Structure 1
């Protein structure tokens, strides 16, 4: 019962995390539409999040920020991929393609995690996993608009796929880090590293900022209020909740739960931004989500069978590095 309770709590935290992440899409898009460049939004968002969280952790729980030299790659990779990479590529994507499409592309990451488990960890996966991957690829072709009258931007789709690769790194590195370290310390270190990397990369781009108010549906808020909201509710809180959840869930199940994000994002983008998708893109989104869900469930079944017959640890906490 205690184990079920822990899993239920982790599942709840994961759903809270992805709902908060989804809310960042329409708000980020609104800030971009107000005249900000993707690099500027990402740098300010992650920088503010790091400033709000890291000093407090260093002051109140300094041990949480201590990592052995042999494991420094964990917070480093988590910060570079799971924080900077995901956010930077995501904002490039939403500046060029609809928010819902960007969210669906990012959530190709469960498929990538399944491929990692099979190829790198050499774990046999059921046929349902590969059928799920085929569905996801078919959906991706439809979403990318590879047909007559295609309107989606190629660079936007490429940025969404790059964000998916970084998101897979977020799952694999975050799961391992959450089981070995204090999630609060991992989150703070990851945000600090991600902020430094994002600011450094952003200096190579045109940093465009604006003082224009941000429009969300019929509401208008000043940009100086929108950015802290994006930092707290779209960055600090979802990263904290997500890392705590990864400490109590198999990474593939966490990836499955992440598929709630594009659904929430699509509803918010429709309600707040008036964005709509064509019929083919909606069908592609359904196929991709179905493929991702099938892939994740297939790997979870392997995990469950391994626990029953071999009394082993979860696949995602096995000795090979993520």
Structure 2
């Protein structure tokens, strides 16, 4: 699941180049999470165990790093705890659990595409809950995204995808939408990196309560996992998904948004499903059909339209105010 932080004022070209590089690396790190994690599940870990280990390790790294480098970001007023709890439970724990359950049952590329329908859910929330009138362009984006989803799921074959994996993927999209909406509200009063850190801590506590990491058999952690031509121990991949695809990805993404407008970063963030699909094909042998690949392009095109229109509307509504824009965080 990409990253959501406030946009800043337009940056000089040199700073934009730096921000673009950072967000590209961050998106690649986020996109690799499913491909890195799936071999650990095939080796015997449950999705809950992988999610617990990933979030717990990332929470420890972020908490220590922020505590040492920028401790003021960890200060929390009592009134902020409800928001941080919702952010951690839905935006961190919910997203990771649903995504890994989906990855365990579906190709990685399809699992992440299901999660990337979250911009459509946010637009529908704005229309039917907030009663915001949506422009025709956004409805076009929603239609494209739904058409792409139908192609990916191959609904004419009676939904050939695993039903539990499909529902979990859509659950990840719901939690991802909550992540963006709660984060949008919280970023008006808190530094994004501090909110991400506490959200990771809350998510770690919640997921570890469901599946304590210490219940994982040590022998299983030392077992080899099939990762392309390599067979590293399971624990190596668990650490990689926690540090590379979570802690580092969040840190780079947050830094990137200091140099790059969020509207630009949100589009670059669409690199994530491309990375996920490509790495799963290269390392796990998971290939999508031509129809599903076409559906992926249509879905991502629709999501891009929705994101861009949303960012433009937000900027017009609040000129000069930092605005959040989604870049997922699986």
TM-aligned CA distance change 1:250 to 1:158, over 3 Å: farther
- TM-score of the superposed pair, with normalisation by structure 2: 0.83
User: Deviation of residue 257 (structure 1)?
Assistant: 3.5
Contact 1:125–1:298 at 8 Å: present in 2 too?
no
Q: Which has the higher contact order (CA 8 A, sep 6+)?
A: 2
- Per mean C-alpha deviation after superposition, the further-off stretch among 121-130 and 177-186 is 177-186
Determine the C-alpha separation between the residues in 1 that align with 2:54 and 2:314. Answer: 36
Determine the C-alpha separation between the residues in 1 that align with 2:228 and 2:292. Answer: 23
Q: Which residue of 2 aligns with 1:70?
A: 79
Are positions 1:34 and 2:34 aligned together?
no
User: Deviation of residue 87 (structure 1)?
Assistant: 0.6
Are positions 1:126 and 2:169 aligned together?
no
- TM-score of the superposed pair, with normalisation by structure 1: 0.85
Q: Which residue of 2 aligns with 1:320?
A: none
Q: Which residue of 1 aligns with 2:246?
A: 235
User: Deviation of residue 25 (structure 1)?
Assistant: 1.2
Q: Which residue of 2 aligns with 1:264?
A: 275
Determine the C-alpha separation between the residues in 2 that align with 1:86 and 1:118. Answer: 23
Match of 2:312 among 301, 314, 321: 301
Aligned residues: 312
TM-aligned CA distance change 1:251 to 1:35, over 3 Å: same
Aligned pairs (5 A) from 1:160-179: 160-179=169-188
Q: Deviations over 1:140-191 (max 9, x none)?
A: 1222232237541011011111111111222233344345323332222111
> What secondary structure sits across from 1:216 in the alignment?
coil
Q: Which residue of 1 aligns with 2:205?
A: 196
**Structure 1: which 5+ residue stretches go unaligned?**
318-322
- Per mean C-alpha deviation after superposition, the further-off stretch among 261-270 and 60-69 is 60-69
Contact 1:145–1:151 at 8 Å: present in 2 too?
yes
- Per mean C-alpha deviation after superposition, the further-off stretch among 293-302 and 231-240 is 293-302
Q: Which residue of 2 aligns with 1:20?
A: 29
**Structure 2: which 5+ residue stretches go unaligned?**
1-7, 326-330
Contact 1:109–1:255 at 8 Å: present in 2 too?
no
TM-aligned CA distance change 1:166 to 1:285, over 3 Å: same
Match of 2:298 among 276, 287, 299: 287
Contact 2:315–2:321 at 8 Å: present in 1 too?
no
